[in-house]
Amino acid sequence: MSTTFKLDTSTSRANPTPQPRKRLTVPVIQRRKFEGKTEDPLVMLTAYTARTAQLLDAHCDMLLVGDSLGQVIYGLPSTLSVTLDMMCNHGAAVVRGSYHSLVVVDMPFGSYEQSPQQAFESASRIMSETGCAAVKLEGGQTMAETIAFLSQRGIPVMGHIGLTPQAVNALGGYAARGRSQEEHEKILADAKAVADAGAFAMVAEGVLEPIAIAATQSVDIPVIGIGASARCDGQVLVTEDMLGMFERTARFVKRYHNISQQIEQAAEKYAGDVRDRSFPGPDQLYQPKK
Ligand code: KIV
């Protein structure tokens, strides 16, 4: 996809705002899978801030405000203590920073599992406070009733099956799913349940490749893979993982950059300049008019 944004240079500071371009909608995303095939794979990345959203927007079909922000932004040990307030604040920032991508916001742990009614209250708050187009929630067959409840009430839902990080304690870790026959069958049953319940798309995370392919082929909604298969209908990664922000990442991450090294080098150079008083220099200073 080419970048067609025109930069509005009147905008202050370093955040030129691209001119509005039509935002992708849920039906448009869903129709990218036609007769069981997706010619043009869907591109999704996570974003948690307005500036990151601005930079990613033209290159993505969807931006996911993932609850991975718990670890990436807040330094939490897992996603379990992420709150609705966090998701609403970051979701609103990402919607403000984007014009083109469909924005999906994760429902945090504890905000939807109790009942479809609880899920509706949380999802409607997320949608009204952020302006996002859809929410994502984890779980397959057990969440089918909730997905149907939300979808029938105007809340587009993206499912999330396979390795579901909010269930880390029950799963016993973040290992790939599908190594036993029971898990294999559960993943396929979850995919079918999520699709039948009315989700417009789903994420399949950390599943053995043949199962990911079978799940993708078994449903008529897009399956977005992460640690799944290139034959899914699209892919998602945590942007900071993709940029090389962390030393340790899951096997399924491909690093496209080494941003942590660049940040460290810049910080080291800045510290040196401050200490030897070469910053600020003449270009950064204001002098009285002559
Ligand atoms: O929270 C998140 O970022 C996610 C993606 C990894 C799919 O759920």
- According to DSSP, residue 177 is labeled B
pLDDT in tens, 114-167: 999 999 999 999 999 999 999 999 999 999 999 999 999 999 999 999 999 999
Which residue has the least CA distance to atom 8 on ligand 1? Answer: 66
Which residue has the least CA distance to atom 1 on ligand 1? Answer: 66
Which ligand 1 atom sits closest to the C-alpha of 106? 1
User: Is the CB–ligand 1 distance for residue 224 below 6 Å?
Assistant: no
Q: Give the DSSP per-residue string, 140-157.
A: SGGGHHHHHHHHTTT--E
Mutate to test the pocket of ligand 1, among 48, 49, 64 (most ligand atoms within 8 A of CB): 64
Please say whether the dihedral angle defined by the alpha carbons of residues 257, 258, 262 and 263, taken in this order, is positive or negative: positive
Confidence of residue 18 (pLDDT cuts 50, 70, 90): low
Contact by Cβ (8 Å): 226, 176: no
Query: Which of 5, 133, 128, 115 has its CA nearest to residue 64?
Result: 133
How many whole angstroms separate alpha carbon 43 and alpha carbon 70?
22
pLDDT in tens, 30-62: 999 999 999 999 999 999 999 999 999 999 999
Residue 52 Cα distances to 46, 74, 136, angstroms = 9, 16, 20
**What tokens were used for 277?**
């008083």
Confidence of residue 3 (pLDDT cuts 50, 70, 90): very low
CB atoms within 10 A of CB 289: 4
User: Is the CB–ligand 1 distance for residue 46 below 6 Å?
Assistant: yes
Contact by Cβ (8 Å): 168, 174: yes
Distance 79 CA to ligand 1 centre (A): 10
How many whole angstroms separate alpha carbon 62 and alpha carbon 104?
7
pLDDT in tens, 257-271: 999 999 999 999 999
Q: Is the pLDDT of residue 7 over 90?
A: no
Distance 249 CA to ligand 1 centre (A): 13
Contact by Cβ (8 Å): 59, 1: yes
User: How many residues appear in the chain?
Assistant: 290
Residue 144 Cα distances to 80, 86, 151, 189, 235, angstroms = 21, 25, 10, 11, 23
Q: Is 205 a catalytic residue?
A: yes
Which residue has the least CA distance to atom 2 on ligand 1? Answer: 66
Confidence (pLDDT) at 1: 39
Catalytic residue among 121, 185, 205, 268: 205
Which ligand 1 atom sits closest to the C-alpha of 224? 7
How many whole angstroms separate alpha carbon 31 and alpha carbon 153?
20
Which ligand 1 atom sits closest to the C-alpha of 64? 3
User: Is the CB–ligand 1 distance for residue 106 below 6 Å?
Assistant: yes
Which ligand 1 atom sits closest to the C-alpha of 136? 8
Q: Look at residue 183 and give its three-state secondary structure.
A: helix
Confidence of residue 22 (pLDDT cuts 50, 70, 90): confident
Which amino acid, residue 199? Answer: A
Distance 4 CA to ligand 1 centre (A): 28
E-strand ranges in 134-245 read 134-136, 157-162, 201-205, 223-226, 234-237
User: Is the CB–ligand 1 distance for residue 226 below 6 Å?
Assistant: yes
